[in-house]
Amino acid sequence: MSRNQAPGTPTGEATKTDDSKPADDKDKQGDIYMRRVAIEAVEVEGEDGTRYAGQRMFVVDKDRLGDAQVFLDPGTVKVKHHKNGGWDWDNPNPAGDTNLWRGKARKGDQVMDETPPGTAEFQDTFGEEPQIEARDDGMSAFWPDSLVRAWGDFDSPGEVREMSSQAEPTVDESQTGIDYQSPGYQG
């Protein structure tokens, strides 16, 4: 699974991993347990002056997981996409060599503007892997035939909920990033 490939805002207990894998299997990850995690895609200005938004906020990397699984606490793992995320499956990049809107891209000596169209939706933050379901209180992503399972009900698929636009308690943005250390479960 990819952890915060783009700027995100985690809350609560980020991840716990089971590191009991044999030492000769260093590239494989142990089981991952997620509870009370909220990841929000944000948009920032790059050094080149181009605005970039978070795009892949939750990705299952089956090669890296091996036989490990991801367990999601039902209803507590949430993602908020950004309309300017680079993946927009309904509006593919017309450049032709990728569906990703890269902001700026170099083709030979030419720098091309690939500004996203601003129409990315919740399902675009995952790629094409999960099953998406509309509910009365928002969208959900499921992985029915996957290593992503419900924590406590291992026969059920794991679920990532769409984060509402209402403010939810979060970790201050200045404390997030690759070196973020969770204070542990807070209630």
What is the CA 65 to chain-centroid distance, rounded?
A: 16
Name the residue range of residue 25's domain. 13-84+121-173
Q: Give the model confidence (pLDDT) of 94-144 as tens digits.
A: 876 677 888 888 888 888 888 888 998 888 888 667 899 998 888 999 988
Q: How many structural domains compose the chain?
A: 1
pLDDT of residue 71: 92
Distance separating alpha carbons of residues 104 and 132, to the nearest angstrom: 30
Is residue 181 one of the residues assigned to a domain? no
Is residue 154 one of the residues assigned to a domain? yes
pLDDT of residue 105: 81
Query: Which regions in the chain score pLDDT beneath 70?
Result: 1-29, 96-97, 127-128, 165-173, 176-178, 180-187
Is residue 156 one of the residues assigned to a domain? yes
pLDDT of residue 26: 54
Distance separating alpha carbons of residues 116 and 111, to the nearest angstrom: 15
pLDDT of residue 20: 45
Is residue 146 one of the residues assigned to a domain? yes
Is residue 54 one of the residues assigned to a domain? yes
pLDDT of residue 178: 66
pLDDT of residue 159: 92
Main-chain dihedrals φ then ψ at residue 174, nearest 5 degrees: -70, -15
Is residue 94 one of the residues assigned to a domain? no
pLDDT of residue 11: 36
Is residue 76 one of the residues assigned to a domain? yes
pLDDT of residue 124: 87
State if pTM tops 0.85.
no
Is residue 114 one of the residues assigned to a domain? no
Main-chain dihedrals φ then ψ at residue 63, nearest 5 degrees: -65, -40
pLDDT of residue 165: 67
| Residue 62, H or E segment | helix 62-65
Q: Are 97 and 104 in contact (CB under 8 A)?
A: no
Q: How far is CA 49 from CA 6, 8, 55, 75, in A?
A: 17, 20, 18, 38
Strands 37-40 and 32-35: unpaired
